[in-house]
Structure 1
């Protein structure tokens, strides 16, 4: 109740909505579901697109109308996010200095001053990835770079929000793959953080726009690894998102009328 960042509005019975949808009590008939052209194509694993297309076809068979929509600014969303997010990380984590919040670590050698305590605390308390984001965020917020980087990224964020607003004027929800590829081996991209960040291309637009999103498994790619389906809805329309997710999750356990032989989800997995 005292959290200024929480919405003071009633929450729909989301669990009940998902369950009712799975039982076909809330069918997908009458819903328009958008497929974003900018969130597919080059760079997406073939097996990911195949599983996604099958899930979209299943939604069509369950009664939804599938509409192709365009959000041109999504091509720039990833770059904008990785300027805005590190800047916020740098600003928000500045309080954890060993004086006011978090742990306190004193230097093993030399004088104990505010500067040395702060350095020792932040060196011990933050991992490599957090430090990388703090350094990047501090740079983009520094004098001479603020307008060029952080300010420009905020303008892109506004464009992303406007694209989603326009798309949701045509459809009730949007679907996309959750990731362009299946899971990579643990630790394989630690030496190439940019490659790791690029895999966020489909999920960070929702964060920039401030809209709800959910991911659920929608099949297996050729490498035997699971593929995720992402459902995005307008702000405050979480009930629509859960309605679609519940129907799709239940529907994927049934045979596709058009192409797939009868098989349960467990058998396919």
Structure 2
């Protein structure tokens, strides 16, 4: 078996770009649906237990408010006592990222966005899976013989890991972090087996910018290399990853 470049035109760039949006629509919708059960009745923490452990920022909102108390400024004021408990518990129990995904998922599953967002995302997923399937099934002539594409190699991320530093000032912002998933999201969305392994990076004098070469040479940076294949090819994927690790 040999590893060689067959083609760089495997899946259309348009589909790769669309897959990032489609993935987060589907992922957020699933998060919203799956986490809806955590209301403190059958699943989830007990509200009083959370409040007793110091997480009491929403404790005052459990009490009914009247106009003199500024009810118009309290988002819980128009809810029933049971609804206030559910809202307070979920607000306390979920972190910021989980809350964002639940709210996004609730939005795309609403009646006015279900067809335009969620259904559109599932169609993108189906088209992407077909494109990958076609790429693995086709064979191309190379050196006078037919060569079949068994596996594909792509970077795990668009850039090397950021230098967090002492104060985290070099960390990526949430938007950049989401965009950095563009190399892994299409594979996950298509339901293909994949694995990421660390490989050492070295740039020749003519490769990359001087700044990139200096960073890599001074830090000994490694990057993630992703190996993936068609459905039910887990054995080949693991074997290829093992070979790459042995070569390190």
Do Structure 1 and Structure 2 share a fold, with TM-score over 0.5?
yes
Displacement of 1:81 in angstroms is 0.6
- Tell me which residue corresponds to 1:81: 23
Q: 2:123 aligns with which of 125, 142, 155?
A: 155
CA distance in 1, matches of 2:6, 2:43: 49
Q: What RMSD over aligned residues (CA atoms) do the two structures have, in Å? A: 2.1
Q: Which runs of 5+ in 2 are unaligned?
A: 49-57, 65-79, 139-148, 203-212
* Contact 1:104/1:117 (8 A) holds in 2: no
Q: Following TM superposition, by how much is the alpha carbon of 1:207 offset from its aligned partner in structure 2, in angstroms?
A: 1.4
Residue 230 (str. 1) matches residue 223 (str. 2)? no
Match of 1:181 in 2: 159
Which residue matches 1:100? 42
Gap change, CA 1:250 and 1:204, over 3 Å in 2 = same
Secondary structure (helix, strand or coil) at the match of 1:197 reads helix
Per-residue CA deviation, residues 51-75 of structure 1 (Å, 9 max, x unaligned), is: xxxxxxxxxxxx3243114211222
CA contact (8 A) 1:211 1:234 kept: yes
- Structure 1 length as normaliser, TM-score? 0.66
CA contact (8 A) 1:76 1:156 kept: yes
Structure having greater relative contact order (Cα 8 Å, sep ≥ 6): 1
Deviations, residues 85-114 of structure 1 (Å, cap 9, x unaligned):
111111110011111212121463316932
SS in 2 for 1:115: helix
Q: Indicate whether 1:205 and 2:186 are aligned.
A: yes
Name structure 1 gaps, 5 residues minimum. 1-28, 30-62, 254-269
Partner of 1:218: 199
Q: Quick check: 1:71 aligned with 2:22?
A: no
Q: Which has the larger radius of gyration?
A: 2
Instruction: Choose 126-135 or 183-192, whichever is displaced more.
Output: 183-192
Retained in 1: the 8 A contact 2:163–2:171?
no
TM-score by length of 2: 0.71
